[in-house]
Structure 1
Amino acid sequence: MKVSSIQMAVVEGNKTATIEKALELIRKEREADLIILPELWNVGFMSFDRYVPEAETKDGPLLNTLKDLAREMQVHLHTGSFVEEDNGRYYNSSYLLSPGGEILANYRKIHLFGFNSKETQILSPGHEVVVADTKLGKLGMATCYDLRFPELFRRMAFMGAELFLVCSAWPYPRLEHWIMLNRVRALENLCFLVSSNSVGPNAGANFMGHSMMVDPMGIILTSGGDEEVTLRYDLELKDVDRHRGSFPAFSDRVDWLNPVGSQ
């Protein structure tokens, strides 16, 4: 499965130009089976004053444009996330689209970030753990701060996830946290992980990139630096079963220590 992770910067203050830039980057990945974008890439995570006035809807122009592009390219497309309005509430929302342009899954960020951030003041948290059953495999969806909460990823693993897809806007200076959490979430669940992180400045913050693809043993297969780049790697999801079969961490679990359960 050929995966492309697009690490890009927002065009400060210009949503239209940022979207056009993203569409151009997506169109370059015609060999990919799966493409992923960062978190809140269309306006920038720190642009809190733009969340509400520039929010999208499920039937709005941004998602429809991405559906058309997924259909044109015949690719699975993780839209990254954007602020989505639904019945007067606002969510940090991401979609997984099929090569036919259909919605396969919608994940609303569960763990909103309140540290030096207004995300918790403006947005509502999601309440659903999402694992999409696709032709490529079972793909679990998470967003940025979610990485700090292992119970979410363990729940996705129990739901059959073979690959975690993480869109993010992770800033400096917490680079070492980012690298460790990407690797550990993959390792402890014997699962592949692909992240797409924002890069560059936005409203006084500086996003650090270092998007990566990690194998079920926690080994980084490919990684970006702190500049715009598209990562590409051919993942073998069948390796998940091989690793889980050869190293019995899941079967050695002690049930009474696991309130998440296996369902």
Structure 2
Amino acid sequence: MKAALIQLCVCDSETPAERWLRVERLLAGLEGQDIDFIMLPELWGVGFCNYDRYAQEEEPLHGLTIARLTPWARRLHSHIVTGSFVERTPDGKRYNTTAVLDANGYLLGSYRKIHLFGYDSQEHMLLTPGRHTGEVFTAYGIVGLSTCYDLRFPEQFRRMVDNGATLFAVTAAWPQQRLDDWRLFCRARALENQSFLLACNHTGDCGGTVGAGHSMAVAPDGTVLAEADEAEQILVAELDLNEAQRFRRRFPALHDRVPIG
């Protein structure tokens, strides 16, 4: 599987409409590259720290984000992890939601961020936490979705492995000041679960917080297969997804788990 992680610069100097046009130009640049799996970062349209815009930019699940990315999934014949957006449900609740489209533009599933950030952040006050892990059945097996702060909670990733995931797709708006944590958690979640991990972060100054960048692809043994720097870029990585099961057979750590308590 050939994956492209769009490490987008999310800056306050740009409107969401302008950012959409730039994303579509980046997607157009992927034509002819035989990309199978495309990812965008967390809340890239509104900007994670722009809390006053959450209500302005909210949308239903079948709203602007899916409507505009569906033709691109078909045009590029690629799965697209939309990156997250502020989902507004009929009962008035708002969620930090990520969706997955297949290569025909069909919505395969979505995930609402479970762990909302409360440290120097308003996310936990403005949004509602999701209640279910995000396993999505794709042409590449079961993909486990998670979002940014979820990385700090290993039990969520273990639950997804127990539900059949062999690949994690993490969208994020992780800040520069905690870059070391980001790099540690990405490798740890892959290694301890013997699964591939694709982590798509943003860069740029948004709401006074600078994105760390360093999107990465990690192998089931914790090896970093590809890693971006701090600049806006598209990180491309090729994954042999069968290696997850091969590694689990060679080093059966998941099989050797013993229930505690």
1:211 equivalent to 2:211? Answer no
> 1:59 Cα shift?
2.5
Give the whole-Å Cα distance in 2 for the aligned partners of 1:246 and 1:226: 35
Give the whole-Å Cα distance in 1 for the aligned partners of 2:257 and 2:63: 44
Do 2:213 and 2:229's aligned partners in 1 also have CA atoms closer than 8 Å?
Answer: yes
Residue in structure 2 matched with residue 28 of structure 1 by the alignment = 29
Q: Secondary structure at the match of 2:42?
A: coil
Deviations, residues 126-172 of structure 1 (Å, cap 9, x unaligned): 01112111111211100000000000000011111111000000002
Residue in structure 2 matched with residue 17 of structure 1 by the alignment = 18
Is there any run of 5+ residues in structure 1 with no aligned partner, and where? 258-263
Residue in structure 2 matched with residue 40 of structure 1 by the alignment = 43
Residue in structure 2 matched with residue 261 of structure 1 by the alignment = none
> 1:73 Cα shift?
1.6
1:196 equivalent to 2:197? Answer no
Do 1:8 and 1:229's aligned partners in 2 also have CA atoms closer than 8 Å?
Answer: yes
Residue in structure 1 matched with residue 187 of structure 2 by the alignment = 183
Give the whole-Å Cα distance in 2 for the aligned partners of 1:136 and 1:197: 22
Do 1:192 and 1:214's aligned partners in 2 also have CA atoms closer than 8 Å?
Answer: yes
1:77 equivalent to 2:80? Answer yes
Deviates more, 1:20-29 or 1:90-99: 20-29
Residue in structure 2 matched with residue 8 of structure 1 by the alignment = 8
Give the whole-Å Cα distance in 1 for the aligned partners of 2:215 and 2:188: 15
Give the whole-Å Cα distance in 2 for the aligned partners of 1:22 and 1:128: 29
Residue in structure 2 matched with residue 167 of structure 1 by the alignment = 171
> 1:231 Cα shift?
0.7
Aligned residue pairs, count: 257
Residue in structure 2 matched with residue 115 of structure 1 by the alignment = 119
Residue in structure 1 matched with residue 136 of structure 2 by the alignment = 132
Do 2:10 and 2:204's aligned partners in 1 also have CA atoms closer than 8 Å?
Answer: yes
**Superposition pairs for residues 136-151 of structure 1, below 5 Å?**
136-151=140-155
4+ aligned runs moved over 3 Å, structure 1 = none
* Coordinate RMSD, CA, aligned: 1.0
Do 1:18 and 1:43's aligned partners in 2 also have CA atoms closer than 8 Å?
Answer: no
Residue in structure 1 matched with residue 230 of structure 2 by the alignment = 226
Residue in structure 1 matched with residue 55 of structure 2 by the alignment = 52
> 1:11 Cα shift?
4.2
> 1:234 Cα shift?
1.1
Q: Secondary structure at the match of 1:51?
A: helix
Letter paired with 2:196: F
Give the whole-Å Cα distance in 1 for the aligned partners of 2:57 and 2:135: 28
Q: Secondary structure at the match of 2:57?
A: coil
Give the whole-Å Cα distance in 2 for the aligned partners of 1:208 and 1:129: 25
Give the whole-Å Cα distance in 2 for the aligned partners of 1:168 and 1:54: 18
Is there any run of 5+ residues in structure 2 with no aligned partner, and where? none
> 1:256 Cα shift?
2.8
Letter paired with 1:60: G
Residue in structure 2 matched with residue 68 of structure 1 by the alignment = 71
Give the whole-Å Cα distance in 1 for the aligned partners of 2:82 and 2:5: 11
Residue in structure 1 matched with residue 103 of structure 2 by the alignment = 99
Do 2:176 and 2:213's aligned partners in 1 also have CA atoms closer than 8 Å?
Answer: no
Report the identity percentage. 42
Deviates more, 1:84-93 or 1:3-12: 3-12
Give the whole-Å Cα distance in 2 for the aligned partners of 1:214 and 1:18: 28
1:90 equivalent to 2:94? Answer yes
Give the whole-Å Cα distance in 2 for the aligned partners of 1:61 and 1:192: 30
Task: Name which of 128, 147, 156 aligns with 1:152.
Answer: 156
Give the whole-Å Cα distance in 1 for the aligned partners of 2:114 and 2:173: 15
Letter paired with 1:51: Y
- Using the size of structure 1 for normalisation, the TM-score is 0.95
